[in-house]
Chain A
Amino acid sequence: MSNKPDLLHGVPEIPAGSVPHANGCDQSCFLGERPDPLSYKEAIQTVKNWFRANSLWVIAYGTGCGSIELRPLGTARFDMERFGIAMRPTPRQSNVLIISGYLSIKSLKRVIRVYEQMPSPKWVVGLGSCTINGGMYWDSYATMKVLDLYLPVDVYIAGCMPRPEALIGGFKELMRMIKNGETKGYIDYIERLDWYRENQKQIIKDWDLPDYSW
């Protein structure tokens, strides 16, 4: 695909030789040897991932019954802010998209726009059995049944509906994956954009979205 958007700037490549202060004066001068560029890069990535894992900003958007469970999660009883998880009002400020239950085809269109407008790196959490295999809405003419055909899902949380504890469990798993650098969904979305688009257009009959919602 020729007009593939370059959204991979979330994972910068640090060219070898451009290690900061490699020939200037910093602590490495005192150590007497230059740090290995590879380990340097890995160290930066680890630190970045640690920061990312501890500041999951969720776009305040809910579909289906599961979004009811986000309220106790955000308020006093379960208080997700102690994990650094916060609700954000716009896609530009968020990096986590929770699909909280059955997703109607009409909403899917909006969700695609929202997801594409979020800055990378970004993650998708599928909440409830409706996102996994249609759940009890499997025979509805209005909802999609397999979320990962349309968006790259990083974590699924099973249940109908999952309790806030299960959500916290899912978030902890997402954090672990981010820290280990295992979440590549947003890269996959760009690399296989054609495949995702094909699936999206298969059920969104009146497709009128732009090539990519920047």
Chain B
Amino acid sequence: MQTTLQALKNQFTVQWEKQQRADLHQVGLPREQTLAALTWLKEHTPFVQLTHMSVVDWIEEDQFQITYLLMNPRSYDLLMVCTRIARSGATMESVHKLWPQAVTYEQEMNEMFGVEFPGSPRQGESFILEGWEDIPPMRRDFDTVQFVLDHIPDRPGRLSINTREFIGRKVGEKRLLHD
């Protein structure tokens, strides 16, 4: 792990670095170096397997973070490569040529966050949602509750109970719940 990290730092601009667990390191890379770094990692280091890909919506900074989780299948060490892209008109290079399974992740990220991966197969095809007309539902500016109230009929008379108060009353304020 340390050898790979050092070599990565020598070749690319590692913007930040964090150790989450003994077997899990995170690195942040600039967007334009990410594809090159991933290719290099796959070809020249033991981190050959793409285990997961995801998006984080940093709406306050008007950015999406794309995360690639790579694994070393011999030692089970994990390396998380993160990169930030602009939130409006979000596009990212596809990695499906490196790892064919990325097609499915990219299709899902396209549907749920609206991030485009030009050149990736099945972009824009429906993956989980069918007939979705609103903005992608996992974006943080999508108001789920308002959507539900507007679109999905409800049964009147539904009660909401504040669990903390209710159980607190039941158990006589024995402070069983954490604050």
Given A146-B153, A146-B154, 4 more A-B residue pairs with CB atoms under 8 Å apart are A134-B154, A145-B155, A146-B155, A203-B151
Interface-lining segment among A49-57, A88-96, A135-143, A186-194 = A135-143
Report how far A32 CA is from B157 CA in the complex, Å: 60
> A109-135 interface mask toward B, CB cutoff 8 Å, 1 = contact, 0 = none?
100000000000000000000001110
Instruction: Please name all residues of chain A whose beta carbon is closer than 8 Å to the beta carbon of B132 when the two chains form the complex.
Output: 205
Report how far A143 CA is from B147 CA in the complex, Å: 12
Shortest beta-carbon distance from A108 to chain B in Å: 10
Give the interface size class of chain A: 20 to 34
Shortest beta-carbon distance from A103 to chain B in Å: 11
Give the residue name and chain of the B residue nearest to A104 (CB). Answer: B128
Instruction: Please name all residues of chain A whose beta carbon is closer than 8 Å to the beta carbon of B148 when the two chains form the complex.
Output: 138-141, 145
Chain A residues close to B by CB (< 8 Å): 105-106, 109, 132-134, 138-146, 149, 199, 202-207
Do the beta carbons of A134 and B158 come within 8 Å of each other? yes
Do the beta carbons of B128 and A106 come within 8 Å of each other? yes
Report whether over half of chain B's contact residues are helix, strand or loop; otherwise say mixed: loop
Chain B residues close to A by CB (< 8 Å): 128-133, 137, 142, 144-145, 147-148, 151-155, 157-158
Instruction: Please name all residues of chain B whose beta carbon is closer than 8 Å to the beta carbon of A203 when the two chains form the complex.
Output: 151-153
Do the beta carbons of A149 and B128 come within 8 Å of each other? no
Instruction: Please name all residues of chain B whose beta carbon is closer than 8 Å to the beta carbon of A133 when the two chains form the complex.
Output: 154-155, 157-158
Shortest beta-carbon distance from B90 to chain A in Å: 20
Do the beta carbons of A139 and B145 come within 8 Å of each other? yes
Instruction: Please name all residues of chain A whose beta carbon is closer than 8 Å to the beta carbon of B147 when the two chains form the complex.
Output: 141
Shortest beta-carbon distance from A20 to chain B in Å: 47
Which one of A145, A202, A205 contacts B154 once the chains associate, using CB atoms below 8 Å?
Answer: A145
Given the known inter-chain contacts A133-B155, A133-B158, A203-B151, please indicate yes or no for A141 contacting B144, CB distance below 8 A: yes
Give the residue name and chain of the A residue nearest to B159 (CB). Answer: A133
